[in-house]
Amino acid sequence: MLDLIATRRALHQIPELGMEEFKTHAFLMETIEGLLQNCTFAQVRTWQTGILVYLTGSAPEKTIGWRADIDGLPIVEETGLDFKSLHPDRMHACGHDFHMTIALGLLEKMAEQQPRNNLLFLFQPAEENLGGAMLMYEDGVFQDWLPDEFYGLHVRPDLKVGQMATNRATLFAGTCEVEIRFTGKGGHAAFPHTANDALVAASYFVTQVQTVVSRNVDPIEGGVVTFGALHAGVTSNIISETAHLSGTIRALTQEMSLLMQERVRAIAQGVAASFNMEVDIELNQGAWLPVENNPELAEELITYFEQVDGVDMIECPPAMTGEDFGYLLQKVPGVMFWLGVDTPYPLHNPRLSPKEEVLPFAVDKLSDFLKMKAN
C-alpha cells in the first residue's frame, strides 16, 4: 500500500523546473510500476518528462481524465522541514508534490478493480513556466486516450483541511506574460542632450499602463496588469540605452485578455514614439487560458461533495491565479477545484508547508468520486 506521507516527502525533496523533472519522472515511474504490477488493464505512455497512465474499462462509454502537475519553482526553501528540498534553489512552493501524491493514491485505488469506463491519469510537466498542457496536446500525445471529461485540483492555503471550493464558471484567470524592451541611446549623465534615456521612457510606460485596468476594463469584470521587473542601467552616472520590463496580464475572459493585451501594446508603442526610441514587445499567452469549468460537470461535482460526510464544499468566486489546465479545458470539458491545506503562507512562498493530513482525506473522498464517474 502506498505510503502517502513518505511519497509526498520524497517528492518534496526533488523539485525541478519545467521540462527538467528528470528525478521526479524516475520516481514517479518507479512508483507507478509498483502500483500496477498486478494490474492487467493498465498501459503507460511517456512524453519527455510527462507520464500518462491509462486504465482500460470493461465496457467503456467514455474516458475520465485526472491531471496532476509535477514541476517546482525557482525558490529557495525556508520551511526548516527535516525533508526540505535537496536542490538549493528549487522548491515545491505551489503544492505540486501534493498534487502528484494524491494522483498516485487515486491511481492505486482505481487500479484495484477494473472500472467500467476508461480512466486516464496525466502527470504533466512544466505547468509553471512552459505550458506543458499545451505542449503535450499539440504534440499529439493523447491520441485515442484523450478524455471526454478532465478533472484537476489545486491546493489552497487559506482553506481548512476538509474544505473544497469551486464554481460553475471561470475559476482562474487567463494570463499573458509580457516582455518589453525600450532602446534609446546611452551617454554620460552630464550630457543628457546627447543621449536618449530608455529608463525614463520605461518609467513613463509603467505609470501610464496603470490606466489599462482603471479606464479600459469593466469594473464589474476586473483584470490585472502588473509589471514586476524593470532592469535598466549599470551605474549612477551613465544614461541607460535600454530598459527591459517583465509583466503579466490577467483576465477572466479571453475577450478581455485580448483587449488588455492590445492596450498594453498601444501604450508601449505610444511611449516609444513620444521619446523617439525603438520598442520590442512580446506578448505570450500560450497555454494559460482562463480555467473555465464546464457548468454541468461542475454542478455534478458540487452536488456530489455537498452530500459527502467530512467535506465542506464551498462555492467560490474566481481568482486571478493562472493555470495551464485552462488550455486542456478549452479542448475537453471538465472541472478544476481548490483543496484546502490550511497553512498561513500563500502559494509561491518559501515557507509554504501544507498540512499532510489532507493526503488521506483527499485520496479517500476523491477516489469515491472517481469510482462513481467510472462505473
Bridge partners (DSSP) listed for residue 151:
66, 335
d(CA 240, CA 334): 49
Contacts of residues 253-258 at CB distance under 8 Å and 24 or more positions apart, as own/partner, are 253/170, 253/174, 253/221, 253/290, 254/174, 254/289, 254/290, 256/217, 256/218, 256/221, 256/223, 257/174, 257/176, 257/223, 257/285, 257/290
**What is the SS3 assignment for 253?**
coil
Grid coordinates representing 273 are 514614439
d(CA 67, CA 99): 9
Name the amino acid, one letter, at 224.
V
Grid coordinates representing 336 are 478544476
Virtual torsion, Cα 79, 83, 89, 91, nearest 10 deg: -70
d(CA 156, CA 202): 35
Judge whether 148 counts as a catalytic residue: no
- Which residues fall within 8 angstroms of residue 223, CB to CB, at 6 or more apart? 212, 213, 217, 249, 250, 251, 252, 256, 257, 260
d(CA 93, CA 74): 9
Q: Considering just the CA atoms, what is the radius of gyration of the chain in Å?
A: 23
Q: Determine which one of 21, 71, 97, 128 is catalytic.
A: 128
Measured at the CA of 303, the angle between CA 302 and CA 304, to 5 degrees, comes to 90
Q: Determine which one of 69, 149, 197, 324 is catalytic.
A: 69
Judge whether 128 counts as a catalytic residue: yes
Residue numbers annotated as active site: 69, 128
